């Protein structure tokens, strides 16, 4: 069975932890849609204990992908970031301002012209 998800491949390590903890034999593969979209495809065998467990868990959680998204949210991933694949990164605003000033000087914008 192959399940194509809208979960970014960036969370494959968390998904593998989930599968290992629940004794599910699922293989995650990268599904590249375009240069910016790298989603996860899940592969497991039909008519196996894994397939039956996934079916039971999916019924309880209103779908397999929904169950995995709930797990990622419980791990601290923002729901808006699940398809993007990266956590929000804190940026040093002072360093960004300095870079902008240097760029502005090089382009002769504003008061530097």
Domain ranges of the chain: 2-86
Q: How far is CA 44 from the centre of its chain?
A: 20
Model confidence over 50-105: pLDDT tens digits?
Answer: 999 999 999 988 889 999 999 999 999 888 888 876 555 566 788 888 888 887 78
CB atoms within 10 A of CB 46: 7
Edge-first strand listing for the sheet containing 27-34: 2-8, 37-43, 27-34
DSSP tag of 25:
-
What is the model's pTM?
Answer: 0.69
Model confidence over 3-29: pLDDT tens digits?
Answer: 889 899 989 999 999 999 999 999 999
């Amino acid at each position: 069975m192959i399940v194509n998800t809208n979960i970014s491949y960036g969370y494959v390590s968390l998904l593998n932890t989930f599968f290992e903890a629940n004794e599910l034999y699922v293989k995650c593969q990268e599904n590249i849609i375009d240069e910016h979209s790298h989603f996860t495809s899940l592969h497991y065998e039909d008519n196996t204990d894994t397939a039956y467990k996934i079916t039971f868990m999916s019924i309880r959680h209103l779908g397999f992908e929904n169950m995995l998204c709930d797990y990622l949210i419980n791990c601290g991933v923002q729901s808006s970031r699940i398809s993007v694949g990266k956590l929000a990164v804190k940026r040093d605003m002072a360093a960004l301002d300095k870079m902008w000033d240097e760029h502005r000087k090089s382009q002769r914008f504003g008061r530097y012209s």
